[in-house]
Amino acid sequence: MIDDGVRAILFDCYGTLISTGNGSITAVQKILKVNQAVLDEREFYSLWKRQMREECMSRTFRSEAECFAASLEKLYIRYNFDRDARTDVQYMLDTLGNRHRFEEAADVLNQLRERYMLVVASNSDELPLREDLKRSKLPIERMFSSEQLRAYKPDRRFFEQVLTSIGLSPEEAVYVGDSQTDDVLGAQGAELRCVWINRLQESLVPGIPEPFRELSDLTGLLDFC
């Protein structure tokens, strides 16, 4: 069991509580279609995600929407697309705020809220995160977006600001997330224990520390929380 000093469970949102589904791939399909481009959609999306991460990790903070647009612009230059990337990025932005919770999320969180403060802290702009959480009807007490915090995971400032805002030390909280880099590495770099939700049954990549726990879905939280 988790120790008695833990007062809050902090959750990543997307891929942990709420599924991103196929929206991103569908958006890429539309982008390639309007550009009449015969490219592998998953390869294009993988490159976009990589470029997006670089934009988010740049020294000057920019919103997720701006990072999506800036990273797509660079891909348009790479592939010599003639269209305006800042117009076409709307295909992706339209998928945000329209996502749904994982099946087990409501039941698990409704049980956990009897003992812990439940907080969401996510790499996301404020509005889509708020809309997705409202639709999910999950019992979340506090919500923090990267837009609000002006920082993206795995930057330890992201986690430190959340803890400061809720008035807890790292020892009084546990972070739950699905990303090896953003969540496992990031949270533990901020001295938080991290529960890794490994829905895809991945292996830890070199350089990622062992998480406090590894679970296939949220249900396993009830075994030790």
pLDDT in tens, 89-121: 999 999 998 899 999 999 999 999 999 999 999
pLDDT of residue 3: 76
Round to whole Å and give the CA distance between 2 and 223.
Answer: 10
Predicted structure pTM score: 0.94
Return the pLDDT at 136: 95
Distance CA 220, CA 206 (A): 25
Q: Which amino acid is at 225?
A: C
Cβ(155)–Cβ(121) below 8 Å: no
Band (pLDDT 50/70/90 cuts) for residue 171 is: very high
